[in-house]
Amino acid sequence: MTATPIESRMQRPIILFSRIWPWIFLGLLIAFFVAVVPLASNGSVNFLTIRNSQNILVAITPVLLLGLGQTFVIIGRGIDLSVGWVMSLASVLSALAIRTVFNAGLPLSLSIVIGLLAALGGAGLFGFMNGVIIAKLKVPAFIVTLGSSFIVRGVALLMSENTTVIGLPPGIRDYGNEALVYYIRGEGGGLYLLQRPDVGGDLVRRMDAILPYPVVLTAIVVAIAVFLLHKTQFGRHTYAIGGSPEAAIRTGIPVDRHVISLYILSASTAGIAGFLSTLRFAAGSAVIGDPLLLSSIAAVTIGGVSLFGGAGTVIGTVIGALIIAVLTTGLVMLNVEAFWQFIVIGIVVIVAVLIDQSRDLIISRDRAGQSS
């Protein structure tokens, strides 16, 4: 049986609204700050500047990278609570690898590539472990990944000998903080590619770094994720498993293998996040990813990925991460007291989830109607 015409007429706009809601909200948010930030500062400060936009893009990179893999996992009706600590482990592993091979005489660029491989390898191994236990032993994902996050935490702390991994090659900071393009506004300015112009005084204040390397790398990962989820069989299988695992098995999708690869993917994007943090802060830290887990799940949820699986997009997660970062930067620029910042961010997350759930409620009511 199909849903009655009245129900589907109500459903369609709600589903459509929940799909474009993150975009609308981001637009409203930016418009709000663009209007209010100059008012709060008597016109001396603007929200929509090149520098501010780049700051926000840099700020979303770790949250977004954790969220990208999580998007796949949650669409596939799972959850990965270990990503924060996997990111920390990757940060430690990449820092140790870079320091070791650089000190052994390898050039910096090659050392960094090896650092990335170490991060991906270590993270991927834990992703594989998560996936196998979840898929083959049928243990609930949140228990498995919660448990493995303790293991990862221990391994990261042991490997870092419980301290920040320092002594990395001096040039490494540039890879994590410099940008593709530099632009100096106004008199004596101009456009510079790849090389931070060596200027001082007033010119520094007018210089914008556009497309910092972490943003570029994250954008590439986003592009790959979009392609993977929306253009390939891998993506279609992910939606199918999230929609109905039983149906996916009946249609011959290798569900176990696919679930394992979802957790490897999730750990890998967390691994890239850890690698990037090592470049950005020129050090490896065994605790750097821990506080990011909740933000990353919030980004995924605000972006419209259903926590019940089967629905969501990569771009939605990007928007979700942007909403959180725009809020954080905007509230600081408005000089809002710290405690009010918490309250506002909390309200936004809950409103977003409410709208997400209203869609799920309607869909499930429809399903219940069909089966009766």
Partner 1 sequence: MERRMFLSMLAAAAAVRETGFHPFTSTAYAAEGKPIKIGFLPGVVDPFYQVMQLGVESAAKQLGIEVVTQIPQTWGVEVQTPILDSMVARGDLNYIITAPTDKDQMIGPLKTAADAGIKIITVDTFLGDGDYATGPVTFPVSYIGSDNMEGGRISARGLAKAIGGKGLVYINSTNPNVSSVEGREKGFKEVMEKEFPDIKVLGPDYNLDDMNKAQQQTAAVLERERDLAGVFGTNVFSAQGAGNAVVNAGLGGHVQVVAYDATKAAIELMNTGVVTLVLAQKPFDMGYMGVQFAQADAAGVTSLPRRVETGFAIIDKANVKDPAVARFIYQVP
Contacting positions for partner 1 (CB under 8 A)? 41, 44-45, 49, 51-52, 55-56, 58-59, 61-63, 153, 157, 161-164, 166-167, 170, 173, 177, 196, 204-205, 207, 209, 212, 277, 280-283, 285, 287-288, 290-292, 295, 325, 328-330, 332-333, 335, 338-339, 341-342
Residue number, 247 or 347, with CB nearest to partner 1: 347
Measured from the CB atom, is 3 or 333 closer to partner 1? 333
To partner 1, the closest distance from the beta carbon of 194 in angstroms equals: 16
Cβ at position 204, least distance to partner 1 in Å: 4
- Which residues, in sequence order, are bridge partners of residue 184? 190, 207
Provide, rounded to whole angstroms, the least separation between the CB of residue 219 and partner 1.
17
Cα 368 → chain centroid: 34
3-class SS string, 194-241: CCCCCCCCHHHHCEEEEEEHHHHHHHHHHHHHHHHHHHCHHHHHHHHH
**What distance in Å separates the CA atoms of residue 110 and residue 101, rounded to the nearest whole number?**
9
Q: Measured from the CB atom, is 92 or 253 closer to partner 1?
A: 92
Determine phi and psi for 65, rounding to 5 degrees. Answer: -60, -40
Nearest to 72 by CA among 262, 303, 307, 224: 262
**Minimal distance, residue 159 CB to partner 1, in Å:** 13
- Hey, what amino acid is at 361? L
Pair 320, 67: CB distance under 8 Å: yes
Q: Which is nearer to partner 1, 76 or 176 (CB)?
A: 176
Cβ 271 to partner 1 shortest distance, Å: 16
Is residue 360 within 8 A of residue 306, CB to CB? The reply is: yes
Q: Are 230 and 94 in contact (CB under 8 A)?
A: no
Q: Which is nearer to partner 1, 261 or 278 (CB)?
A: 278
Token pair 């472990």: residue: 129
Closer residue to partner 1, CB minimum distance, 84 or 131? 84
For the bound state, the minimum distance from the C-beta of residue 88 to partner 1, rounded and expressed in Å, comes to 11
Closest contact distance (angstroms) between CB of 181 and partner 1 is 14
* Residue 100 or 358 with smaller CB distance to partner 1: 100
Question: How far is it, in rounded angstroms, from Cα 369 to Cα 372?
Answer: 5
The DSSP H or E segment spanning 190 is strand 190-193
| Nearer CB in complex with partner 1: 338/368 | 338
Residues 6+ apart with CB under 8 A from 199: 184, 207
Task: Answer positive or negative: Cα dihedral of 243, 245, 251, 253.
Answer: positive
Burial 200-216 (b: 16+ CB within 10 A, else e): eeebeebbbbbebbbbe
d(CA 167, CA 353): 43
Of residues 247 and 294, the one with the C-beta less far from partner 1: 294
Three-state DSSP state, 272: helix
Least distance from partner 1 to the Cβ atom of residue 108, Å: 15
Tell me the closest approach of the beta carbon of residue 317 to partner 1, in angstroms. Answer: 17
